[in-house]
């Protein structure tokens, strides 16, 4: 496995791989790799001939300096994970390699970024779309693997790639969860055992919404109210949002015809957690 912090090296190795007939698979991450990330690398390994993993904590997508500072950085462990999953190349640049000067260029996906994460984390998606554009330009034509865990991000990146004719196929991968349902996240390491229990609030709210849907409830606002009540019962510190939206447009649904995406963000013990589920059709994709 090659490890580099240099853009030029990534370009060369991925160009060589394509020239020799391989499809390139790309897994962008911020590191602190867990089983969720592993599942992306494994899928890339199974579907492509040359697997690139990037490990870069992107300052541009953090709206809170404290969150950026607290973000776990575990590159030695991450390299072991990448090697164990058969990655060919890990790109681990310094911030100066990616941002040698303050960028004057913005990449903004409108509409899809207006609500939910976009509303509660000002500038977050501009940071995501900027860095993902740069990474796609560095890695070149590829299949890029993204987790359904970040459902809004997945749709924003997919739309950006389509709108800008990027030579990238965005592949959605299912959310990997602990046995009790908690979605794996690098931030979970910051939860103590009492908070870990409260962190199940979103999973419990989703279960209640699914139950109500199965008993015939189709009203988006009614389902939203029921979900918010569960979050309150579970004693989360703060709810940013719980939304019942159209799975593609991400617009709130007054009533559900086929399927809905339910997305939520809560704060527990100083940690911000997000999760989502699909109701009305099989989860994921
Ligand atoms: P991050 O390192 O948080 O930027 O995540 C990198 C990629 O891993 C993103 O595409 C995430 O959606 C994905 N990811 C994070 N957590 C999970 C999970 N529990 N299951 C599946 N994919 C995940």
For residue 285, pLDDT over 70 is answered with no
In the prediction, which pLDDT does 96 show?
Answer: 97
Question: pLDDT digits over 25-69, tens only?
Answer: 999 999 999 999 999 999 999 999 999 999 999 999 998 899 899
From the CB of 155, is ligand 1 less than 6 Å away? no
Active centre residues (catalytic): 37
From the CB of 54, is ligand 1 less than 6 Å away? no
From the CB of 127, is ligand 1 less than 6 Å away? no
Ligand 1 pocket, mutate which of 60, 132, 150 (most atoms under 8 A from CB): 150
For the CA of 174, the nearest atom of ligand 1: 21
| Cβ proximity of 112 and 154 under 8 Å | no
For residue 234, pLDDT over 50 is answered with yes
Ligand 1 center to residue 134 CA distance, Å?
19
In the prediction, which pLDDT does 283 show?
Answer: 54
Strands, sheet with 260-268, edge to edge from the N-terminal-most edge strand: 238-245, 260-268, 271-279
From the CB of 152, is ligand 1 less than 6 Å away? no
Question: pLDDT digits over 259-284, tens only?
Answer: 999 999 999 999 999 999 999 976 55
From the CB of 173, is ligand 1 less than 6 Å away? yes
From the CB of 57, is ligand 1 less than 6 Å away? no
Ligand 1 center to residue 245 CA distance, Å?
21
Give the residue-averaged pLDDT of 164-184. Answer: 98
Give the residue-averaged pLDDT of 98-107. Answer: 97
CA distance 234 to 238: 11
Pairing mode of beta strands 142-147, 24-29: parallel
Pick the residue whose CA is nearest to atom 14 on ligand 1: 147
Pick the residue whose CA is nearest to atom 5 on ligand 1: 29
Ligand 1 pocket, mutate which of 77, 91, 147, 276 (most atoms under 8 A from CB): 147
Percent of the chain beyond pLDDT 70? 99
DSSP letters spanning 92-105: ---HHHH-SS----
Q: Which helix (H) or strand (E) holds 68?
A: helix 65-70
Question: pLDDT digits over 67-99, tens only?
Answer: 899 898 999 999 999 999 999 999 999 999 999
Dihedral sign from CA coordinates of 21, 23, 29, 31: negative
CA distance 101 to 151: 31
Question: pLDDT digits over 176-189, tens only?
Answer: 999 999 999 999 99
Report helix, strand or coil for 107.
coil
In the prediction, which pLDDT does 281 show?
Answer: 79
């Amino acid at each position: 496995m090659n490890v580099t912090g240099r853009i030029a090296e990534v370009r060369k190795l991925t160009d060589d791989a394509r020239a020799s007939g391989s499809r390139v698979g790309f897994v962008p991450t911020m590191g602190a790799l867990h089983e969720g990330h592993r599942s992306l690398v494994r899928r890339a390994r199974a579907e492509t001939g040359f697997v690139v993993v990037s490990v870069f904590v992107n300052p541009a997508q953090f709206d809170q300096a404290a969150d950026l500072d607290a973000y776990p950085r575990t590159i030695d462990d991450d390299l072991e994970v990448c090697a164990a999953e058969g990655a060919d190349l890990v790109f681990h640049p310094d911030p100066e390699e990616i941002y040698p000067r303050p960028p004057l260029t913005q990449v903004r996906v409108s509409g899809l970024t207006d609500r939910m994460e976009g509303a509660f984390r000002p500038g977050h998606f501009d940071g995501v779309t900027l860095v993902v554009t740069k990474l796609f330009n560095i890695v070149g034509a590829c299949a890029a693997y993204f987790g359904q865990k970040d459902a809004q991000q997945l749709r924003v990146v997919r739309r950006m790639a389509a709108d800008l004719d990027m030579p990238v196929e965005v592949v959605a991968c299912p959310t990997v969860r602990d046995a009790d349902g908690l979605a794996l996240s690098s931030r979970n390491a910051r939860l103590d055992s009492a908070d870990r229990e409260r962190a199940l609030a979103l999973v419990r709210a989703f279960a209640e919404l699914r139950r109500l849907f199965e008993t015939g409830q189709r009203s988006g606002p009614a389902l939203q109210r029921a979900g918010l009540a569960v979050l309150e019962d579970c004693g989360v510190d703060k709810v940013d949002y719980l939304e019942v939206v159209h799975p593609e447009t991400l617009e709130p649904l007054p009533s559900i015809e086929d399927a809905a995406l339910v997305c939520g963000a809560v704060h527990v013990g100083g940690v911000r957690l997000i999760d989502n589920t699909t109701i009305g059709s099989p989860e994921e994709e």
